[in-house]
A and B are shown apart, each in its own frame.
Chain A
Amino acid sequence: MNGSGSRVLVADDNAVDRKLLAKIVGKAGFEVVEAVDGNDAVAKYYSEKPDLVLLDALMPGRDGFSVAREIKAHDVDEFVPIIFLTSLTEAEDLARCVDAGGDDFLSKPYNHVLLRAKLLAMQRMRETNQTMQLQRDEIARHHMQLVADQKVAKAVFDNVAHTRNLETSYIKYLLSPLAMFNGDVLLAAQNPAKSVYVLLGDFTGHGLAAAIGTMPLADVFYSMTAKGFTLSQIIKECNRKLGSVLPPGYFCCATALMLDFNRCTVEVWNGGLPSAYLRKAGSDEIRLLASNHLPLGISPADKFDDSTLVYEVELGDRLFLATDGVIESRNAMGEYFGSDKLESIIRSAPPHDLFDSVQRAVNGYVDEEGREDDLTMVEIAVVTPDQVEAAEIIDDVVALGGPRDWKFCYELGPQSLKDFNPLPLLQQVLMGAPYLRARATAIYAVLAELYSNALEHGVLGLRSEMKSSAEGFSAYYAARAQALECVHGFVRFDFKCELIEDEVDLSISVTDSGGGFDHANYLTRAKNAADAATGYHGRGIRLLWDLCSSVRYVGSGNQIDVAMHWNVNDE
């Protein structure tokens, strides 16, 4: 009594057998459809769509084997069980039933108990099969949805972690096409002074979980770079941001660089990535920029170490960075490429061919199937400042209005000088006057130069001659850090700005608490050296001469006044 209304097709040319079967099957709770021969069986199969079939093997016209083959071929996904009815007893004949698609057989005389048991068993199997199909279809639907979702996610990801700023004459890069799924990220941006910031990152994990951290990271990186924040400030905020959004156990190994082509310096912060390399242009000398911090997203904000290392660079020097995909590439025997091999290539390749040499070496080493992490690597060459394009000025405020005649004074005392960089804030105030935005880059560069001179030479009393030699360079920055610890004094900015008709007049005066210096002598020497363009010191003043219409030291030299003047209709 538990056929649950499933429909059974009974096909037997013998009326006696057929009637007996119909009775047994009906009593077992099934609905019965009768067929009198092979052709009738096929026709009833299509028209009545039975759930199970009882099929006589030998029938006139079309025999049971042929009917079974057609039924089984009709819908391969659908499982319609076939029980052969036969008084054939030879093993060969029974095997023939199974070959034709029979799932079971029943011999004569029909045992009604056995038949009922077989029908119910077959029905159970049919129901299992149907459940599996529903589940399979549901899985397929889910999969299609996931694929569609991923496409959208990838489009957003590609816009956020875009590589537009990497398309320059001085950058060569390889970003794994699977970056979205293996957690690699490579970002570059120019700041208002046309310094180039680069961030290479490798998030833990795989798939979307790894990639999703890229969004807040890129957001912080781009917006802070555009506003002129220092590398330390940016990396500190990246750490805080990732710490707040990533779950425990997730972090981002990263190396951040700031290249200042005007001052010929590179500033580095490396937390958790393999060593980056600085390859000198003229020799095979290389400097390892090893990881000396925890990756981003681990340390709490107050314990985060944002200290960076600064190196002097020359035209033609190259910086090479890569995620661990390079050194973990494996050959056919499962051996790793390794950092020794990478270092030796970086040392021995000709500088102009550095990036390609590494890429060729890795591709040659790796066996196709051995590729685990796809490669992400970048090389930045030190070039002249004119090669750097200005950052796009995204002006979302209509450039009308703003103050047309204004002035303000901003002074920093010792506590601020120690660990606060006022440049982004001052730049933002100045950009509140829309007509100044066209010169954002120049203004920022001037502010940066004036401030660093006032702080380092004026207040801290550091001599720029110290930077000339190689040891002097790191010694200079060490001395700077030390002096800041016990700084006293002040730096004051005085701004005055007027827009009259279409003429802009911006005056910037910076005063420090230092004793001043022999500025007359300094200016003379700098003017003579202008054509020779040698020596580190002197570069700063030449930058000011380029960008300002006038530059004047006042009093003992602890005050410098510069003016910038232009017509809004210029360029």
Chain B
Amino acid sequence: MSKILNEALLEELKMIMEEDFSDLMNTFLEESVRQYNQAKSAWEDDDFASLRLSIHTLKGSCANVGAETLHKTCARLEELATAGLRDEVPELLACAFEQLADVQNRIKTL
């Protein structure tokens, strides 16, 4: 069962980053929103290549901060974007948006 945020991974991240931990988290907060918005406008422009790249990038950050559920969603979106399949994209994008909000809330409470 994947988690919204993997606490154990975050603990380890805290240990690695030391005093730079909050800076890293803030960077994630900013970047993840930006990347999601890029993905959304790429979809609206019917630009599968850019959609794929943005989702791929977001997916990467999710992995590193332990946002597992969002990571899975991004992975699925990336597959669709790579294959050029339209149907499930809007639904998945909406899902991602919600999950991103959850992650953000959790992070802000750290």
- Enumerate chain A interface residues (CB-CB to B < 8 A): 13-17, 19-20, 23-24, 27, 58, 60, 87, 108-110, 112
| Distance, CA A494 to CA B56, complexed state (A) | 118
Q: Distance in Å from the Cβ of B91 to the closest Cβ of chain A?
A: 23
B53 touches A60 (CB 8 A): yes
| Distance, CA A112 to CA B24, complexed state (A) | 16
Residues of the A chain whose Cβ atoms lie less than 8 Å from the Cβ of B31:
14-16
Task: Decide yes or no: A108 and B17 within 8 Å by CB, A16-B24, A16-B27, A19-B27 being known contacts.
Answer: no
A19 touches B56 (CB 8 A): no
Q: Distance in Å from the Cβ of B30 to the closest Cβ of chain A?
A: 8
A109 touches B9 (CB 8 A): yes
Task: Decide yes or no: A87 and B23 within 8 Å by CB, A23-B16, A24-B16 being known contacts.
Answer: no
Indicate which residue in B12, B24, B57, B63 contacts A19 across the interface (CB closer than 8 Å).
Answer: B24
A109 touches B63 (CB 8 A): yes
A87 touches B60 (CB 8 A): yes
- The residue in chain A whose Cβ has the minimal distance to the Cβ of B54 is A60
Residues of the B chain whose Cβ atoms lie less than 8 Å from the Cβ of A110:
64
- For this complex, into which size category does the number of interface residues on chain B fall? 20 to 34
Indicate which residue in B18, B20, B53, B63 contacts A108 across the interface (CB closer than 8 Å).
Answer: B63
B37-66 CB contact bits vs A (8 Å, 1 = yes)?
Answer: 000000000000000010011011101111
What 6 pairs between A and B have smallest CB-CB spacing? A108-B63, A16-B61, A109-B63, A16-B28, A109-B64, A15-B27
A16 touches B65 (CB 8 A): yes
Q: Distance in Å from the Cβ of B8 to the closest Cβ of chain A?
A: 12
Indicate which residue in A15, A17, A20, A87 contacts B16 across the interface (CB closer than 8 Å).
Answer: A20
Residues of the A chain whose Cβ atoms lie less than 8 Å from the Cβ of B60:
14, 16-17, 87, 108
A87 touches B27 (CB 8 A): no
A14 touches B23 (CB 8 A): no
| Distance, CA A108 to CA B59, complexed state (A) | 9
A87 touches B56 (CB 8 A): yes
| Distance, CA A108 to CA B71, complexed state (A) | 11
Residues of the B chain whose Cβ atoms lie less than 8 Å from the Cβ of A108:
60, 63-64
B79-110 CB contact bits vs A (8 Å, 1 = yes)?
Answer: 00000000000000000000000000000000
- The residue in chain B whose Cβ has the minimal distance to the Cβ of A89 is B75
- The residue in chain A whose Cβ has the minimal distance to the Cβ of B34 is A15
Residues of the B chain whose Cβ atoms lie less than 8 Å from the Cβ of A27:
16
Residues of the B chain whose Cβ atoms lie less than 8 Å from the Cβ of A13:
57
Instruction: Specify which of B31, B56, B60, B63 lies most central, judged by the most chain A CB atoms within 10 Å of its CB.
Output: B60
B65 touches A87 (CB 8 A): no
Q: Distance in Å from the Cβ of B13 to the closest Cβ of chain A?
A: 8
- Enumerate chain B interface residues (CB-CB to A < 8 A): 9, 12-13, 16-18, 20, 23-24, 27-28, 31, 53, 56-57, 59-61, 63-66
> Can you list 30 A-B contacts with CB-CB less than 8 angstroms, sorted by A residue number?
A13-B57, A14-B60, A15-B27, A15-B31, A16-B24, A16-B27, A16-B28, A16-B31, A16-B60, A17-B60, A17-B64, A19-B20, A19-B23, A20-B16, A20-B24, A23-B16, A23-B17, A23-B18, A23-B20, A24-B16, A58-B53, A58-B56, A87-B59, A87-B60, A108-B64, A109-B63, A109-B64, A109-B66, A110-B64, A112-B12
Residues of the A chain whose Cβ atoms lie less than 8 Å from the Cβ of B12:
112
Instruction: Specify which of B13, B17, B57, B59 lies most central, judged by the most chain A CB atoms within 10 Å of its CB.
Output: B57
| Distance, CA A110 to CA B53, complexed state (A) | 19
| Distance, CA A60 to CA B49, complexed state (A) | 10
A16-B60, A108-B64 known; 7 new pairs, CB 8 Å cut-off, are A16-B24, A16-B31, A19-B20, A23-B16, A108-B60, A109-B9, A109-B66
Residues of the A chain whose Cβ atoms lie less than 8 Å from the Cβ of B66:
109
- The residue in chain B whose Cβ has the minimal distance to the Cβ of A20 is B64
A14 touches B61 (CB 8 A): yes
Residues of the B chain whose Cβ atoms lie less than 8 Å from the Cβ of A24:
16
Residues of the A chain whose Cβ atoms lie less than 8 Å from the Cβ of B16:
20, 23-24, 27, 112
| Distance, CA A33 to CA B7, complexed state (A) | 30
Q: Distance in Å from the Cβ of A127 to the closest Cβ of chain B?
A: 27
A87 touches B63 (CB 8 A): yes
Q: Distance in Å from the Cβ of B22 to the closest Cβ of chain A?
A: 12
Residues of the B chain whose Cβ atoms lie less than 8 Å from the Cβ of A112:
12, 16
- The residue in chain B whose Cβ has the minimal distance to the Cβ of A111 is B12
- The residue in chain A whose Cβ has the minimal distance to the Cβ of B61 is A16
| Distance, CA A17 to CA B65, complexed state (A) | 9
| Distance, CA A15 to CA B9, complexed state (A) | 19
Q: Distance in Å from the Cβ of A359 to the closest Cβ of chain B?
A: 77
| Distance, CA A16 to CA B24, complexed state (A) | 6
| Distance, CA A557 to CA B23, complexed state (A) | 129
- The residue in chain A whose Cβ has the minimal distance to the Cβ of B65 is A16
Residues of the A chain whose Cβ atoms lie less than 8 Å from the Cβ of B24:
16, 19-20, 23
| Distance, CA A411 to CA B63, complexed state (A) | 115
Q: Distance in Å from the Cβ of A432 to the closest Cβ of chain B?
A: 99
| Distance, CA A281 to CA B28, complexed state (A) | 107
| Distance, CA A15 to CA B61, complexed state (A) | 9
Q: Distance in Å from the Cβ of B66 to the closest Cβ of chain A?
A: 7
